[in-house]
């Protein structure tokens, strides 16, 4: 395992960035009338995950770091919900959303593990 010198070294941040990139890529195919609706909401939630991980890391306070990681978890669940709604209203197909939801599930496990480790370090 390599040293963590920046939030950019965190697996959670890297996977969050990958997930946000994929959400943007997939949502380009969504209807234009959803640009300011579900498309915008899903994109904002996906970006918020990586941003909260980075911001928490930069706070230089363990309590705040954990708080921002929990916010990232909330944004992750928000994104999952947007993706599921997109499938239900037939904006996205299940086959397109499935890999995004799988990535979200993996990221959620990483975030939970990181929070657990940080809480143990208190």
- pLDDT, tens digit, 9 for 90 and up, residues 57-102: 999 899 999 999 999 999 999 999 999 999 999 999 999 999 999 9
Name the nearest CA neighbour of 46 among 14, 78, 70: 78
Residue 60: how many other CB atoms lie within 10 Å: 8
Confidence class for position 1, pLDDT limits 50, 70, 90: low
pLDDT the model gives residue 3: 81
Q: How far apart are CA 50 and CA 45, in angstroms?
A: 9
* Residue 32 scores a pLDDT above 70: yes
pLDDT at 2 over 90: no
Domains in the chain, please, with CATH?
A: 7-121 (1.20.1440.60)
From first CA to last CA, the distance across the chain in angstroms is: 22
Task: Tell me if 69 sits within 8 A of 111, measured CB to CB.
Answer: yes
Whole-angstrom distance, CA of residue 81 vs CA of residue 84: 5
- DSSP-derived secondary structure for 104-122: HHHHHHHHHHHHHHHHHH-
Is this structure's pTM higher than 0.85? yes
C-beta neighbour count of 26 within 10 angstroms: 19
The arithmetic mean of pLDDT across residues 43-62, rounded, is: 96
């Amino acid at each position: 395992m390599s040293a963590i010198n920046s939030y950019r070294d965190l697996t959670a941040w890297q996977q969050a960035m990958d997930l946000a990139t994929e959400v943007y890529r997939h949502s380009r195919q969504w209807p234009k009338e959803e640009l300011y609706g579900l498309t915008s909401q899903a994109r904002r939630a996906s970006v918020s995950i990586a941003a909260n991980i980075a911001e928490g890391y930069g706070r230089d306070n363990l309590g705040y770091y954990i708080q921002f990681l929990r916010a990232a978890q909330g944004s992750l669940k928000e994104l999952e919900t947007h993706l599921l709604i997109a499938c239900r209203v037939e904006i996205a197909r299940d086959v397109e959303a499935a890999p995004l939801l799988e990535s979200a599930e993996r990221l959620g496990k990483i975030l939970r593990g990181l929070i657990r480790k940080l809480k143990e370090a208190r």
